[in-house]
Structure 1
Amino acid sequence: MSVFEILERESFGFSAENPTGTRSGGSRGRDCEKLRPCIQIEPGETVTLCDVEGPGMLTHIWFTGYTGHSFILRVYWEENEKPSVEAPISAFFGCAYDENFRDREGKYPVLNSAPILLAPGRGYNCYWEMPFRRHCRVTMENRSTQAQSLYYMIEGWKGEILANAGYFHAFYRQEHPVQKGRAYTVLDGVRGRGQFAGLCFAAGMNGHNTCWVEGEPKMYIDDSEYPTVNYTGTEDYFGGSYGFGNDILQKRYQTFSGLYAGLYAITGNDDCEMYNGQQRFLLYRFHIQDPVYFSRSFRMTMDNLGWTGPRYDDYTSVAYWYLEQPAALPADLPDDHELVMR
């Protein structure tokens, strides 16, 4: 589709000013008058942000206000009782270390990719296309101990979708720390026909940083015993090389943020001595130009490996994929207190 094509579609936008998302349902305020720019979500409360009949598609989601891990984003397709998207909003938008507002340069971390934009000041933007046939519901749960504010906009359109359109899924996982000598599981338990679309990833160093990027990402397709897609190193999978610059010439990690891959932020100690420092890395890899197709099942792992052997770092990820039919997620979220990452 091109932006200049005029199609039979009806746009909608759910926000605090138009919580029903209906035509002409926005603010009754006068010019330059704000009536309801945000909502408050009480401790333990779950609020429905978007409830819309299909067919149609979500095209843009924007959040700000409280943007920490205690806000849990869920998306339900076709009136299913179980969500197909469930993650702390910070991790969903690639910012798992949500308590760090400064990178090593003292600036706001900025993730500037095609499907996700993390803008300065914690503007969370999602451009993943999310088609649905009959119904879509988006909720936010506050798992913190105090009321939190949320500014939001959920945009999309109603109209016919492609017959072979898949349903968007997202799943959060963490190991703090990774069990030494065992691969970290990014995603498992996915059944059906679909395509893997990528992940956001956070790595927190524990112990001396002896080249944490030696681990191989591996993808197992359709119940295969051995991986089909097998990278040689962690930095290679995320589009980099030589320890993102720490192994060559300048001997220093360098951030980058592209359309589909990046190491967009480093927080923590920035000791320039090679591999010395308890740093935190925020990365992403989106399989949009190179989707990974599967017919029956999909599994992905990532080794936590350095020059001196297996490591025990903190790994956190949100995986994204599409399926022919909406499905429940492989596991439940950890408790809120387990998600704290500094």
Structure 2
Amino acid sequence: MKFILINSVLVIFCHLNVMGQIYNYQEDVKTKSIWESTIVKANSSKVFTEIEGPGIIKKLWLTTFPSNDKENIELAKNVIINIYWENSESAAVSVPLADFFCQPLKLQAIENHFFHSTNNQLLFASTIPMPFRKTARLEVKNSLDKEFELFFGIDIESKVIEKDAMYLHTYWQNSIDLSADEPFLILPELNGKGRYLGTHLSLYQRNPFKNWPWYTRPVTIFLDSKSNNQKPSLYIKTLDDFFGSAWWDREDEHNTYTYQYIGRPLVETDKHNNLKIVLYRYHIQEPLWFKESIKIEIGKNWNWGNQKIESGNWTTTSFLYLNEPSNEFNLKGKY
């Protein structure tokens, strides 16, 4: 795209191969939308849709009848969404609803590049592109002792998928009472070929202090290098840098912010001075490609004077594309 100023008038020249995609007719593409509902029994799993390919899931929208705030977040944390590609027996995506849709500690209105919700009433929407060739199977697993009605909307583009198109995968991990001298594994070492897309992180931190010393942890990223005998491909000294910010310890007020690729949509401190915080980052403009392997880890806290950093509950959801429809991951941890 070019910008030229002519007599104080801004003239914009757009390359047709970028902007033309919006209005150019595509002969071999068909749009399909599914709008239905189903009852999900207590303590059971329910496949709510199966889609024949090839195609791309362009939007996924889910909701159910809301209750009070406590019961709403309980449902969102105890219902897992599973997505299977190409009749695989193992789910490529397996994450609690709240964590997948970037509302891991509190249901709230949010908008970023991939996820949005207009209120705090159990509304979840994603626009992450999810290509598949033969079949896509979407399922929810209900761990609650009560049933609920799931309403869902799915928009699909039926089209031939490019040869190098990859499958969406997730890895969910949490650690209760993680001490300051313990590392946290965002993504274990995975052998394969793909692209790391982004991270959701939620933290319940006891006694966070005003200058937030808990965030002085490095992030190491290994791309196509074994973590046990090679230097990391990327080393980011603190979490604020990794999540696209800086100098959290010097902020007068720890406010929320949400942008397309980075955000801090939740910052709350309760009456006992415990912090709830949610962060996200998507690697769109600086993609992380790997041909053989990948691993991402949050390291131990490095020394911060005389402040005693207490333990916290850490949870992350990793999003990545892989060239295979199934992976070696399983849902880890428990609430």
Q: TM (normalized to structure 1)? A: 0.81
Do the aligned residues in 2 keep the contact of 1:176 with 1:314 (CA within 8 Å)? yes
Q: Deviations over 1:109-152 (max 9, x none)?
A: 33321111133134211111111111111111111111123221
Q: 1:284 corresponds to which residue?
A: 280
Distance 1:329 1:12, change over 3 A: farther
The reply on whether 1:247 has 2:255 as its aligned counterpart is: no
Distance 1:215 1:110, change over 3 A: farther
Q: 1:316 corresponds to which residue?
A: 315
In 2, distance between residues paired with 1:189 and 1:77? 22
For 1:30-49, what aligned pairs fall within 5 Å after superposition?
Answer: 38-49=37-48
In 1, distance between residues paired with 2:314 and 2:128? 24
What amino acid sits opposite 1:137 in the alignment? R
What amino acid sits opposite 1:68 in the alignment? A
Q: Which has the larger helix fraction?
A: 2
Do the aligned residues in 2 keep the contact of 1:304 with 1:310 (CA within 8 Å)? no
The reply on whether 1:126 has 2:126 as its aligned counterpart is: yes
Q: 1:34 corresponds to which residue?
A: none
Per the alignment, in what secondary structure is the counterpart of residue 99 of structure 2?
A: helix
Identify the range of structure 1 (1-10 vs 198-207) with the bigger mean alpha-carbon deviation: 1-10
Q: 1:269 corresponds to which residue?
A: 270
Q: 2:7 corresponds to which residue?
A: none
Q: 1:146 corresponds to which residue?
A: 146
The reply on whether 1:230 has 2:232 as its aligned counterpart is: no
What amino acid sits opposite 1:247 in the alignment? R
In 1, distance between residues paired with 2:271 and 2:262? 22
Q: TM (normalized to structure 2)? A: 0.83
Per the alignment, in what secondary structure is the counterpart of residue 114 of structure 1?
A: coil
Q: Deviations over 1:216-274 (max 9, x none)?
A: 1111111332211111211111122111xx514xx210111000000011123389xxx
Structure 1: unaligned runs, 5 residues or longer: 17-37, 102-108, 272-276
Per the alignment, in what secondary structure is the counterpart of residue 236 of structure 1?
A: helix
Do the aligned residues in 2 keep the contact of 1:85 with 1:329 (CA within 8 Å)? no
In 2, distance between residues paired with 1:264 and 1:304? 25
The reply on whether 1:96 has 2:99 as its aligned counterpart is: no
Do the aligned residues in 1 keep the contact of 2:174 with 2:332 (CA within 8 Å)? no
What amino acid sits opposite 1:12 in the alignment? K
Q: Deviations over 1:77-103 (max 9, x none)?
A: 111100100000111111111xx45xx
Do the aligned residues in 2 keep the contact of 1:10 with 1:159 (CA within 8 Å)? yes
In 2, distance between residues paired with 1:153 and 1:263? 27
Per the alignment, in what secondary structure is the counterpart of residue 68 of structure 1?
A: helix
Report the identity percentage.
18
The reply on whether 1:301 has 2:297 as its aligned counterpart is: yes
In 2, distance between residues paired with 1:252 and 1:302? 25
Q: Deviations over 1:276-325 (max 9, x none)?
A: x3110011001122110111111001135262476522110110001111
Do the aligned residues in 2 keep the contact of 1:178 with 1:304 (CA within 8 Å)? no
Length, aligned pairs only: 297
The reply on whether 1:9 has 2:17 as its aligned counterpart is: no
Q: 2:220 corresponds to which residue?
A: 218
Do the aligned residues in 2 keep the contact of 1:181 with 1:310 (CA within 8 Å)? no
In 1, distance between residues paired with 2:326 and 2:225? 18
In 2, distance between residues paired with 1:262 and 1:208? 19
Per the alignment, in what secondary structure is the counterpart of residue 164 of structure 1?
A: coil
Per the alignment, in what secondary structure is the counterpart of residue 77 of structure 2?
A: coil
Do the aligned residues in 1 keep the contact of 2:192 with 2:291 (CA within 8 Å)? yes
Q: Which has the larger strand fraction?
A: 2
Structure 2: unaligned runs, 5 residues or longer: 1-17, 65-71
Deviation at 1:207, TM superposition (A): 3.6
Do the aligned residues in 2 keep the contact of 1:304 with 1:311 (CA within 8 Å)? no
For 1:20-99, what aligned pairs fall within 5 Å after superposition?
Answer: 38-65=37-64, 68-97=76-105
